[in-house]
Amino acid sequence: MAAAEPSANAEHTQDAFLPSSRREMPEAEEHRRLERVSKSFDITLKIRRFDPDRDTEPHWENYTVSVEPTDRLLDALHKVKWEIDGSLTFRRSCAHGICGSDAMRINGRNRLACKTLVRDVNAESEVTVEPMKGLPVLKDLIVDMEPFFEAYRSVMPYLVTSGNEPTRERLQTPEQRERFDDTTKCILCAACTTSCPVYWSDGEYFGPQAIVGAHRFIFDSRDEAAEQRLEILNDREGVWRCRTTFNCTEACPRGIEVTKAIQEVKRALIFRRV
């Protein structure tokens, strides 16, 4: 039996499933669109490598891999690891911008590799990938997060209350909740702290994330330890070390207004009122 010719009706049937904006799209234009979206291309990653068992100094190595425009930089790193050099070491967990474990310096800017599309990183030239600055490098793109977490722990990042356990939930008005809504979004990725020039020059500075972590509870109407936290941040290495350079705000992948939160803590210290 002869193969059936594709009929005009069949085309109409397929068309019916397209959004109306694309139904009328001329064939050539649609072809170009599909090419743009699906065309794979080569990307060269210039990665800063350091293996404490072999190297005395970090060094750069280049890797070229084929990617799709919709791939993330994390996908490109996986390709390098799985197809070229299995010794490349980096952290990642969720791959969806939630766990905060794959913050790194991409083209000189702190970003999450899983939230960075390769088409947005000027892939025509080399893309540099390095560990975040200001924390000791353990291996390749992995830094020792302990100094960062130590600063976070020191501001008491938990609810402090006294008296008997309540028999029902602690109520709060929408306005009271709104005061610390922004700082609840922190995923502890360290992109802010490791983009701060004050933190680079003085590792004793608490860093913006610790202040964000404190802000989260200082302005929570249910908490009773605001005074204690403010006293901790009144330290020589506390909020007053901030020079309002805004790097932290620009670096935050969660869009938290980090510098604004720091200013609010400074104001609370000056007026001794939250």
- Residues in the site for ligand FES, rule: CB under 6 A? 92-95, 97-102, 112, 114
Q: Tell me how many residues contact ligand F3S (CB under 6 A).
A: 13
Q: Smallest distance from the beta carbon of 110 to ligand FES, in angstroms?
A: 12
Cβ atoms within 10 Å, residue 122: 10
Is 238 a binder of ligand F3S (CB under 6 A)?
no
Residue 133 near residue 194 (C-beta atoms within 8 A): yes
Q: Smallest distance from the beta carbon of 182 to ligand SF4, in angstroms?
A: 9
Among 38, 93, 201, 245, binds ligand F3S (CB under 6 A): 245
Is 259 a binder of ligand F3S (CB under 6 A)?
yes
Distance CA 78, CA 62 (A): 14
In 35-174 the beta strands, taken as DSSP E runs, fall at 41-49, 59-67, 103-106, 109-112, 127-130, 137-139, 142-143
Query: Of 149 and 246, which CB lies nearer to ligand F3S in the complex structure?
Result: 246
243, interface contact from ligand F3S, ligand FES, ligand SF4, none, CB < 5-8 Å by kind: ligand F3S
- The residues near 136 (Cβ < 8 Å, ≥ 6 apart) are 143, 144, 147
269, interface contact from ligand FES, ligand F3S, ligand SF4, none, CB < 5-8 Å by kind: none
Q: Helices (H), strands (E): how many in the chain?
A: 11, 7
